[in-house]
């Protein structure tokens, strides 16, 4: 497998689309020794700088050509359109990897994470009702990330919303900082399902081990990954309160598109490997047709 690693480092850049609360931190920690610091994005001395780099399409795509040429692993909170644009802008072959998570499970985990960051001083209801936290991060976030058309306005919104997370405490204390975010709809879901064809190594968080084995075989990654990392959980000062039933019901309703996206990915992954590109294309067309009929 050393030969696979050498080939990967010599010729391929892996762009892992790290959707929040989908085990991206576990992926990153498992690869710290595989990819030397100079080959990884992001590298920054300050936490705030690292977060900006990890969430800003403008900063990533604005890297000098020589820096892009040196990169071999990108783990970033970016929409798929950024990975596509990056692939077009670099001469190195770019392999896109992605993990999806059950929509409700991901939203619940994200909600608890936000509450924990704020020491549970805000109720789950307050966080869910917030236009940015609730509308962008807790509502069909995976469908948004894969279904975006890639307009400048969408990328600006993406960066602006993540900026609120960077200064979360300040944001929560500043009513004037609130703003409405764009809605995610059925057209986004259709684009998101179709976009799964662009993912070179697709997996489900519930099947993380199988996905990791695929990455090991395809990219020469270590055979064994690190234990799961739950960001922030070990720093919790108090036990997380139970999420009320009405909030759970609303989270389920808010993430119906993510549930359909996850089901589509699961269906595609459960099928035998396609015999040809045309067979794969036909398979995606059938899955998209099912989505449209629902």
- Host H or E run for residue 146: helix 141-147
Number of residues assigned to the chain: 294
**C-alpha–C-alpha distance, residues 16 and 28, integer Å:** 9
- Host H or E run for residue 41: strand 40-41
CATH code, 230? 3.40.50
**C-alpha–C-alpha distance, residues 80 and 195, integer Å:** 8
- Per-residue tens of pLDDT for the chain, all 294 residues: 555 666 667 789 999 999 999 999 999 999 999 999 999 998 777 888 899 999 999 999 999 999 999 999 999 999 999 999 999 999 999 999 999 999 999 999 999 999 999 999 999 999 999 999 999 999 999 999 999 988 899 999 999 999 999 999 999 999 999 999 999 999 999 999 999 999 999 999 999 999 999 999 999 999 999 999 776 555 556 789 999 999 999 999 999 999 999 999 999 999 887 666 677 667 777 777 776 666
pTM exceeding 0.75: yes
- Exposure pattern of 179-206 as b/e (b: 16+ CB <10 Å)? eebeebeeebbbbbbbbbeebbbbbbbe
User: Containing domain of residue 30, as a range?
Assistant: 2-293
Tally of structural domains, the chain: 1
């Amino acid at each position: 497998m050393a030969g696979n690693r050498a080939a990967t480092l010599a010729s391929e850049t892996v762009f892992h689309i790290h959707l929040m609360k989908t085990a991206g931190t576990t992926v990153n920690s498992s690869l710290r020794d595989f990819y030397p610091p100079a080959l990884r994005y992001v590298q920054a001395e300050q936490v705030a700088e690292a977060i900006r780099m990890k969430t800003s399409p403008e900063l990533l795509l604005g890297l000098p050509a020589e820096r892009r040429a040196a990169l071999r692993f990108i783990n970033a909170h970016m929409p798929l359109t950024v990975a596509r644009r990056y692939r077009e802008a670099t001469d190195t072959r770019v392999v896109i990897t992605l993990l999806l998570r059950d929509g409700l499970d991901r939203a619940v985990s994200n909600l608890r994470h936000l509450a924990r960051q704020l020491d549970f001083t805000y109720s789950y209801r307050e966080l869910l009702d917030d236009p940015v936290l609730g509308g962008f991060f807790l509502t069909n976030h995976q469908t948004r990330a894969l279904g975006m058309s890639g307009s400048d306005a969408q990328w600006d919104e993406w960066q602006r919303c993540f900026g609120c997370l960077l200064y979360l405490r300040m944001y929560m204390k500043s009513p004037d900082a609130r703003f409405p975010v764009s809605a995610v709809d059925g057209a986004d879901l259709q684009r998101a399902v179709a976009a799964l064809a662009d993912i070179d190594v697709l997996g489900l968080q519930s099947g993380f081990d199988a996905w990791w084995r695929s990455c090991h075989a395809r990219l020469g990654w270590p055979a064994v990954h690190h234990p799961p990392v739950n960001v922030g959980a070990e720093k919790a000062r108090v036990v997380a309160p139970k999420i009320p039933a009405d909030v759970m019901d609303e989270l389920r309703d808010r993430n119906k598109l993510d549930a359909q996206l996850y089901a589509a990915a699961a269906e595609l992954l459960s099928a035998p490997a396609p015999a040809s590109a045309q067979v794969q294309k036909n398979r995606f067309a059938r899955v998209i047709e099912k989505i449209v009929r629902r």
